[in-house]
Amino acid sequence: MDLNEYNLDFFRESANGDVKFMKYILNLTARELQDYFNRFAEALQNGDIEQARRAKHKLHPHLEALQAYDLQKLSENLINESDRLSAELLQAFQQKATLLCNAIQQAANDEK
Give Cα 72 to chain centroid, integer Å. Answer: 8
Burial of 16 (0-12, 13-18, 19+ CB in 10 A): exposed
Instruction: Using alpha carbons only, give the angle 15, 6, 14 rounded to the nearest 5 degrees.
Output: 10
Residue 2 has pLDDT above 50, yes or no: no
Mean pLDDT along residues 46-51 = 92
Task: Tell me the whole-structure pTM to 2 decimals.
Answer: 0.87
Residue 1 has pLDDT above 50, yes or no: no
Three-state DSSP state, 86: coil
In this predicted model, what pLDDT tens digit does every residue of 62-85 receive, in sequence order? 999 999 999 999 999 999 887 788
Residue 10 has pLDDT above 70, yes or no: yes
Q: Which pLDDT does position 82 carry in this prediction?
A: 74
Residue 89 has pLDDT above 70, yes or no: yes
What is the distance between the alpha carbons of residues 33 and 41, in angstroms, rounded to a whole number? 12
| DSSP summary character for residue 6 | -
Contact indicator for 75, 40 with CB cutoff of 8 Å: yes
